[in-house]
Amino acid sequence: MRVDLQPAYVLHLRPYRETSALVEIFTQDYGRVGLVAKGVRQRRSKAIGLLQPFCPLLLSWVGRSDLVTLTGAEAAGRGPALTGEGLVCAFYLNELLLRLLPRRDPFEALFSVYAHSLPPLANSQQRQQALRLFERDLLTYLGYGLTLTHEADTHRPIDAEQWYSYQLEKGPQRFQSEDLGGMKVRGRTLQALARGELADPVSLHEAKQLLRWLLAFQLGDKPLKSRALLEELRQLGKASRKMKAHDCK
C-alpha cells in the first residue's frame, strides 16, 4: 500500500541502525503509524530536519505491515514556538497518544483537536485550559466520554451549586459521603468542562484532578515521563527564584 502526502505529526523518533530512525507519527486518516525512515541520519539527508515533533507535515510511505517505510516528507506549515514548560506539556500530549492510541485506528477528529491544542501551550495563560480540554476530548474519542450535563442516576441537569461524586463508568451522582468513593467535584466545574470554558482557577484545578483520575485507569501503573520532567522543571524554577531572592538581600 502506498500513501502520499498524508497530514501528520511526529510523536516520537529514535535512532535505528547506523543511519536510520524509527518514527511514531499521528496522522489524519490512519491514526498512529510506525514507520522506518531509512538513511535520514546521514549528513546529506534533509528529512531529519523536518521530522521534528509539533510541526505539521505531509508524509508519504509504502508498506502493509505494522512498520511502514517513509518515502517522502514535506513541511505543511510552522509549528508553535514552544519552550520550557510549554514544550514539556506538548511532549505530555504526545506521550498520552503513544500510550493510549492503538496503531492504525483512524481518529480524524482527534487529529484536529491535537493540532489546535498545540499553539495555546506556548501561552502560559492558556496552557492549563488547553491541556484539560485535550484530555477531555481524548477520553471521548477513546470511548470513555465524560457525563457532564446530567446526573448519572436521576438524569437531572447538573446543578452548579451542588457537590457531586464522579463515579467511574457511571458519571456524577450527588455527593452524600466519602463512602461512595469516586472523585468529588463541584457542579460548576462539570458545567465549565462541558462548555470548554475553564476560566477560574478552582474549576481548572478540579477539572485537572478529575481528568487525571480518569486517565489513570487507562494508563495503568507506569508513570508518565513528561509529568516527572515537568515537576523537575518546576523544582528547578523554584530553586532558581530562591537563589535570585537571596542574591538581592
Check if the beta carbon of residue 27 is closer than 8 Å to that of residue 39: no
Whether residue 187 is contained in a domain is answered as: yes
pLDDT confidence bin for 43, thresholds 50/70/90: confident
Residues 78-82: what's their mean pLDDT? 94
Whether residue 125 is contained in a domain is answered as: yes
Same domain, 53 and 112: no
- Whether the pLDDT of residue 239 is over 70: the answer is no
The pTM for the full model equals 0.90
Same domain, 162 and 118: yes
The torsion angle over the Cα atoms of residues 137, 139, 144 and 146, rounded to 10 degrees, is: -50
Same domain, 129 and 204: yes
Whether residue 19 is contained in a domain is answered as: yes
Q: What gap in Å lies between CA 99 and CA 225, rounded to an integer?
A: 11
What pLDDT score does 124 carry? 93
Same domain, 215 and 131: yes
What pLDDT score does 154 carry? 92
Same domain, 200 and 138: yes
Mean pLDDT rounded to a whole number for the chain: 91
Whether residue 246 is contained in a domain is answered as: no
Same domain, 216 and 123: yes
What pLDDT score does 47 carry? 79
Residues 80-108: what's their mean pLDDT? 94
Per residue in 216-232, pLDDT tens?
999 998 889 998 888 88
Count how many domains the chain has: 2
- CATH code of 44's domain: 2.40.50.140
What pLDDT score does 241 carry? 57
pLDDT confidence bin for 40, thresholds 50/70/90: confident
What pLDDT score does 179 carry? 62
Q: What gap in Å lies between CA 100 and CA 96, rounded to an integer?
A: 6
As to burial, measured by CB atoms within 10 angstroms (0-12 exposed, 13-18 middle, 19+ buried), residue 157 is exposed
Whether residue 249 is contained in a domain is answered as: no
The one-character DSSP state at 39 is T
- CATH code of 178's domain: 1.20.1440.120
* Long-range CB pairs of 63-69, under 8 A, 24+ apart, other chains included: 63/1, 63/35, 64/1, 66/34, 66/103, 66/104, 67/22, 67/34, 67/35, 67/36, 68/1, 68/3, 68/33, 68/34, 68/35, 68/36, 69/35, 69/36, 69/38
Distance of CA 103 to the CA centre of its chain: 16
Supply the range of the domain harboring residue 191. 104-223
Same domain, 110 and 54: no
What pLDDT score does 248 carry? 54
Residues 8-12: what's their mean pLDDT? 97
What pLDDT score does 247 carry? 58
Whether residue 237 is contained in a domain is answered as: no
Same domain, 111 and 219: yes
Task: Tell me which of 34-43, 75-84, 137-146, 237-246 is least confident.
Answer: 237-246
- Whether the pLDDT of residue 244 is over 80: the answer is no
The torsion angle over the Cα atoms of residues 194, 195, 198 and 204, rounded to 10 degrees, is: 0
Whether residue 15 is contained in a domain is answered as: yes
Whether residue 28 is contained in a domain is answered as: yes
Residues 10-27: what's their mean pLDDT? 94
State the CB neighbour count (10 A cutoff) for residue 161.
Answer: 7
Per residue in 141-194, pLDDT tens?
999 999 999 999 999 999 999 999 999 989 999 998 776 678 999 999 999 999
Same domain, 69 and 108: no
What pLDDT score does 199 carry? 85
Phi-psi category of residue 171: left, alpha or beta, with phi > 0 → left and psi -120 to 50 → alpha? left
CB proximity list for 19: less than 8 A, separation 6 or greater: 38, 39, 40, 41, 42, 45
